């Protein structure tokens, strides 16, 4: 149940005189079971990820994915975020996680033909943003790594292999643009917060020289995705400037 329900249940135990003993039992059970549950969840997420990858490689993949509920993908992302917040080192030590993040989370972020909803693909970007946020919190405690801008040992963003870190840039740029063109039919979303999260991920990736070099090659090449991204940034800047100038009249 929820934390409120748990607190109410513990209060009832306390009133019955069994509270201290029961709290110890619950605490021991949590200490023993939660790590095992996390390992089980990660293994299950890896299994589902392998299944999705297999389905995506089939000739009739588009028709198959029309029948698969969105939560099959988003639940994997939620498991990764939950484990990252609860115990980052467990993610780093699990051999299943790096391939799952590199191949599914990063590799499928640009699969618009299979994952047609940009909000499903954004759930993958949320995983990366969670990693970056936790890494930045850790880095803020160590001025040396923040000064040199290097990857700290044990950073969650290191779960992305080099190829995935380079390749995920274009899907993130495209998703940044796409989110501004869609409205979620069943949930209230904050497009500005979503775009800010994507920019945080990109900023973190661009600290790696090989990723920054890849972005430059993308810009020098066909550059369609990069051009649309830059155009969106300019439009946003113009909108914000126009809005700010309009509010000056209210100040007077």
| Mean pLDDT, rounded, of the chain | 83
Please, are residues 194 and 175 in contact by the beta-carbon 8 Å criterion? no
The per-residue pLDDT for range 47-63, each reduced to its tens digit, is 999 999 999 999 999 99
**pLDDT range class, residue 41, cuts 50, 70, 90:** confident
Highest mean pLDDT of the ranges 2-16, 38-52, 234-248 = 38-52
- State mean pLDDT over 41-46: 90
pLDDT at res. 136:
87
Percentage of residues in the chain with pLDDT exceeding 70? 79
pLDDT at res. 183:
64
Instruction: With respect to residue 11, please indicate whether it lies within any of the assigned structural domains.
Output: no
DSSP class of 152: P
Instruction: With respect to residue 5, please indicate whether it lies within any of the assigned structural domains.
Output: no
Structurally, the chain folds into a number of domains equal to: 1
Asked whether the predicted pLDDT for residue 235 surpasses 60, the reply is yes
> Could you tell me which residue, 84 or 188, shows the higher pLDDT?
84
Percentage of residues in the chain with pLDDT exceeding 90? 46
Q: Is 134 helix (H, G, I), strand (E, B) or coil?
A: helix
Nearest residue to 204 via CA among 128, 140, 148, 144: 128
Highest mean pLDDT of the ranges 13-17, 100-104, 190-194 = 100-104
Asked whether the predicted pLDDT for residue 91 surpasses 60, the reply is yes
Please, are residues 172 and 198 in contact by the beta-carbon 8 Å criterion? yes
Whole-Å CA distances, 145 to 135, 136, 139, 213: 11, 10, 6, 22
pLDDT at res. 125:
95
Instruction: With respect to residue 234, please indicate whether it lies within any of the assigned structural domains.
Output: no
Instruction: With respect to residue 236, please indicate whether it lies within any of the assigned structural domains.
Output: no
pLDDT at res. 244:
82
**pLDDT range class, residue 108, cuts 50, 70, 90:** very high
Residue 111 Ramachandran class (φ > 0 left, ψ -120 to 50 alpha, else beta): beta
Instruction: With respect to residue 249, please indicate whether it lies within any of the assigned structural domains.
Output: no
The per-residue pLDDT for range 26-40, each reduced to its tens digit, is 555 555 566 777 888
C-alpha dihedral sign at 166, 58, 123, 160:
negative
Domain that holds residue 137: 24-182+190-222
Instruction: With respect to residue 41, please indicate whether it lies within any of the assigned structural domains.
Output: yes
What are the start-end ranges of the H helices in the chain? 3-15, 19-56, 61-65, 71-86, 88-93, 97-99, 118-139, 143-148, 162-167, 169-179, 191-205, 209-220, 224-251
- State mean pLDDT over 139-148: 63
pLDDT at res. 203:
93
**pLDDT range class, residue 138, cuts 50, 70, 90:** confident
pLDDT at res. 61:
93
pLDDT at res. 218:
85
- 127: number of Cβ within 10 Å: 25
pTM beyond cutoff 0.85: no
Tell me the longest C-alpha to C-alpha distance in the chain: 72
């Amino acid at each position: 149940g929820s934390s409120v329900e748990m607190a109410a249940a513990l209060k009832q135990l306390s009133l019955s005189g069994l509270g201290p003993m029961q709290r110890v039992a619950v605490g021991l059970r949590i200490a023993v079971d939660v790590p095992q549950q996390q390992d089980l969840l990660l293994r299950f997420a890896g299994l589902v990820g392998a299944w999705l990858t297999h389905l995506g490689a089939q000739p009739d993949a588009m028709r198959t994915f029309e029948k698969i509920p969105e939560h099959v993908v988003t639940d994997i992302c939620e498991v990764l975020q939950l484990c990252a917040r609860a115990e980052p080192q467990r993610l780093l030590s699990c051999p299943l996680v790096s391939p799952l993040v590199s191949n599914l989370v990063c590799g499928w972020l640009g699969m618009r033909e299979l994952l047609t909803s940009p909000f499903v693909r954004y759930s993958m970007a949320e995983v990366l943003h969670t990693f970056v946020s936790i890494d930045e919190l850790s880095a803020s405690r160590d001025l040396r790594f923040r000064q040199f801008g290097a990857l700290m040992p044990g950073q969650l963003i290191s779960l992305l292999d080099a190829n995935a870190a380079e390749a995920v840039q274009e899907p993130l740029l495209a998703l940044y643009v796409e989110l501004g063109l869609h409205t979620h039919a069943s949930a209230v979303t904050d497009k500005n917060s979503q775009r800010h999260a994507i920019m945080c991920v990109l900023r973190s990736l661009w600290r790696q020289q090989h990723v920054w070099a890849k972005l430059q090659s993308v810009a020098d090449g066909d550059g369609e995705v990069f051009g649309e991204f830059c155009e969106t940034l300019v439009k946003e800047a113009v909108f914000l400037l126009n809005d700010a100038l309009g509010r000056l009249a209210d100040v007077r």
